[in-house]
Amino acid sequence: MNNYITGTVIKKLREKKKMTQSQLAEQLCVSDKTISKWETCKGFPDISLLEPLAQALHISIPELLAGEQIINTNRAANILRSAIYVCPICGNILHTAGNAMVSCCGITLPPLEAEEADAAHAVQCERIEHELYVTSTHEMTKQHYISFIAYVTANRFELVKQYPEGNAEARFFARGRGRLYWYCNHHGLFSCRV
């Protein structure tokens, strides 16, 4: 993050909540002159006031620092538009049904963008009765491996975790059209239609 919270952001969020400088100052146990200094960029809130300021403005600290409130406009989520996040520090895998602000291990994660697989990252998908059997010949060493395989349809998101030194394979109950996703710990997210 390059910027600290600006006075313009504080003023915009305060006015959006229909609060006066005095009302905000009272909630934060500071003077209204202090709020005025922040909003005219003649001073900045102390870092110890970020959490109380965010609470007073009914916003999260990351939203406060970004300068905007994130509002869920996706009222009827389509799981096919899922966003997938992988923490580069701990390997945590997170899934959201729409855009979100996701953080793990103290860092904000960007949603992964799936690519078409090259020959080294291709998967084979075989329909066996009512199942999809997905396999890959990708190496599965401790340094380079497929971390997960996921099958996404309009109303389901299924993920099978993969482990180094195992076989890269997964079975899913076939539920019609959807997408397969798989993640290489070195080269990122790949996807194809099924």
- Distant-in-sequence, close-in-space partners of 155: CB < 8 Å, separation ≥ 6: 79
**pLDDT tier for residue 3 given thresholds of 50, 70 and 90:** low
The per-residue pLDDT for 57 is 86
**pLDDT tier for residue 164 given thresholds of 50, 70 and 90:** very high
**Per residue in 101-124, pLDDT tens?**
888 998 889 999 999 999 889 999
DSSP for residue 25: H
Residue type for position 74: N
> Is the predicted pLDDT of residue 72 greater than 60, yes or no?
no
> Is the predicted pLDDT of residue 9 greater than 90, yes or no?
no
The per-residue pLDDT for 1 is 39
Residue 67 or 166, more confident: 166
Average pLDDT over all residues of the chain: 87
DSSP 97-162: SS---EEETTEEEPPP--B---GGG-EEEEEETTEEEEEE-----SSS-EEEEEEE-SS-EEEEE-
